[in-house]
Structure 1
Amino acid sequence: MKTILIIEDNYDIRDNTAEILELADYEIMVAEDGVQGLYKIKERRPDLVLCDILMPKMNGFEVLRQLKNNPSTVDIPFIYVAASVEKDEVLMAMDMGADGYIGKPFEVEDLIEKVREKMALLNRE
């Protein structure tokens, strides 16, 4: 079973996203901020990270920067799930190495489709 780490500071969004993805047959880990997220990744490497951008302690851009600068985590697929869908922010995320960007609020089907697409690519690698 593939494992997804959700890094999200809003409890309701984190809990609902986890429930949706558990029902889609993924194993879920959760973190409430970037610092906790990086710690969880060191404990157990996920197959995919879904991450908010604006969070306390460490924002999503810093989380991605640290993952991409570490040889042991550089290849973990990373999708931002964020309220802002400003063109500049999306472009910056993709330039930093994000594998996708989902705007909040999102449709359940869109989230599952984006996750399944990324997992299908992992299965082919």
Structure 2
Amino acid sequence: MIKILIIEDDNAIRENTSELLELEGYSTLTASNGKIGLEKIKRHLPDLILCDLRMPEMDGFTVLKNLGQCTDMKRIPLIFFSAKSEKIDIKIGMDAGAEAYLVKPFEFEELLASIEKCLNNKKEV
């Protein structure tokens, strides 16, 4: 079963996303900030990470930077999601190494399409 880690400080978004993904057949893990998320990444090596950009303790950019420093973790695709919707914000997120960038609020179908695309790209590598 494909394992997805959701790193999001908003409890409602985190739990709703987790429940919806589980209904789609994914296994999910959750973390309320980047620091906890990084610990879970190291422990569980998920197949994909969904990560908010702005969080307390450790932001999404720092999570992504840490992924790149470890051989086991740097191949894990990461999707950023954020309320920051300016083109420059999206460009910065993608240039940092994210596989996709979703603007909140997003449609669940949009999230599913991004997940499938990332997982398919991962299989091709």
TM range (shorter): over 0.9
Match of 1:6 in 2: 6
Q: State the match for 2:56 in structure 1.
A: 56
One-letter amino acid of the counterpart of residue 62, structure 2: E
| Counterpart Cα distance in 2 of 1:123 and 1:68 | 19
Tell me, in whole angstroms, the C-alpha distance in 1 between the residues paired with 2:83 and 2:16.
15
Mapping of residues 1-125 of structure 1, within 5 Å: 1-125=1-125
Please report how far the alpha carbon of residue 119 of structure 1 lies from its aligned counterpart in structure 2 after TM superposition.
1.7
Q: Which amino acid aligns with 2:96?
A: M
Instruction: List runs of 5+ in structure 2 lacking aligned partners.
Output: none
Whichever residue aligns with residue 43 of structure 1, its letter is R
Structure 1: where are the runs of 5+ without partners? none
Distance (Å, rounded) in 2 between the aligned partners of 1:11 and 1:111: 18
The alpha carbon displacement at 1:71 in A equals 2.0
Q: Which moved more, 1:110-119 or 1:11-20?
A: 110-119
Partner AA of 1:83 in structure 2:
A
Compute the displacement of 1:122 (Å). 2.6
TM-score, length basis structure 2: 0.95
TM-score (norm: length of structure 1): 0.95
Same amino acid, percent of matched pairs: 43
Moved more, 68-77 or 7-16: 68-77
Say how many residue pairs are matched.
125
| CA deviation after TM superposition for structure 1 residue 70, in Å | 1.9
Cα RMSD of the aligned pairs, angstroms, is: 1.0
**Residues 2-40 of structure 1, C-alpha deviation per residue, up to 9 Å, x if partnerless?**
000000000000001101111111000000000000000
SS where residue 113 of structure 1 aligns? Answer: helix
- Between the aligned partners of 2:95 and 2:69, the Cα distance in structure 1 is 14
- Offset at 1:124? 3.4
